[in-house]
Amino acid sequence: MHFIEYTKHPVKSVISIKQSSSVIFPAVTLCNLNPIRKSYLQEVTPNQAAFLSLNKEGFGNLYEVKKNEDDDELDTEDSEWDEHQLVGVNATRFAEEGSHRLEEMLLSCTWKNAKCTNESFTKRWTNFGYCFTFNEPAQGDVHMAGRHERFSVVLDVQQNEYSLRGLESAVGFAVILHEQEDVPLIYDFGFLTPPGYRTQVAIKRKVVRCIDLYSLQPV
């Protein structure tokens, strides 16, 4: 009987509105569009600079060594480097140490009218480089809509530290809102916010339940 119903391809949509006194606030991941600080690049060895140039595709096509006319050691565009020469270069450590530091970028942070700090964020590796996630794990529900229980941050983009070409050579931050258990694919689905502007995002939670093909019941 179930097989016959399945072969008929029945379609049934049920939309219901459920009032809730609270809802889980999503995780918010922030990424500076510049993956590696300029001051850090000035300290790296030619070996590390060549590693960054050769592995720009492996970092989500975001990393490209910018020609430094003042320092020939960092200009690897015309150098013939063999990847077997890149001894002692740890990709994860190199990207983490060179990334922007949240304690230097974060000018102010409030969550539900209470002050938050850089310790309220988790540093994580994404397909946009090293980023910072707020509210993971979840730090509580919100009980009303509007500005009273909002999350707000003021960030310094540190444009003086820009030395690599990021997404579309832009300056600013990439942002994505996601479930706590989801991986933030910020390079694919994040939105950009430029410096010097105030960006407000209104959100609404939507729950989608799939149908079990065997029992034809929602799961």
**59: pLDDT confidence band, cut at 50, 70 and 90?**
very low
- Look at residue 96 in the predicted model and tell me its pLDDT: 86
- Look at residue 165 in the predicted model and tell me its pLDDT: 55
Q: Which residues of 75-113 are buried (b: 16+ CB within 10 A; e: fewer)?
A: bbeeeeeeeeeeeebeeeebbeebbbebeebbeebebee
Q: Which residues of 160-176 are buried (b: 16+ CB within 10 A; e: fewer)?
A: ebbbbbbbeeebbbbbb
**172: pLDDT confidence band, cut at 50, 70 and 90?**
very high
In a domain, 54, yes or no: no
- Look at residue 203 in the predicted model and tell me its pLDDT: 84
Amino acid at 125: W
In a domain, 23, yes or no: yes
In a domain, 182, yes or no: yes
In a domain, 88, yes or no: no
**85: pLDDT confidence band, cut at 50, 70 and 90?**
very low
- Look at residue 104 in the predicted model and tell me its pLDDT: 96
CATH code assigned at 166:
2.60.470.10
Instruction: Give me the percent of the chain exceeding a pLDDT of 70.
Output: 66
In a domain, 106, yes or no: yes
**55: pLDDT confidence band, cut at 50, 70 and 90?**
very low
In a domain, 47, yes or no: no
Place of tokens 């997404």: 167
Q: Which domain holds residue 129?
A: 2-36+100-193
- Look at residue 205 in the predicted model and tell me its pLDDT: 78
For the cut 60, the answer to whether the pLDDT of residue 63 exceeds it is no
Please state the domain count of the chain. Answer: 1
- CA dist list (Å): 55 to 59, 86, 164, 195: 7, 11, 14, 29
- Summarize the confidence of residues 44-67 as an average pLDDT: 47
pLDDT greater at residue 63 or residue 167: 167
In a domain, 53, yes or no: no
Under 8 Å between Cβ of 151 and 110: yes
pLDDT tens-digit map of 37-53: 888 877 766 555 655 55
Considering the entire predicted model, what is its pTM? 0.70
When mean pLDDT is compared across 27-31, 51-55, 199-203, the lowest value belongs to 51-55
Q: How far apart are CA 107 and CA 134, in angstroms?
A: 15
Rg of the chain (C-alpha set): 23
In a domain, 176, yes or no: yes
Q: How far apart are CA 12 and CA 121, in angstroms?
A: 42
When mean pLDDT is compared across 20-29, 30-39, 190-199, 200-209, the lowest value belongs to 200-209
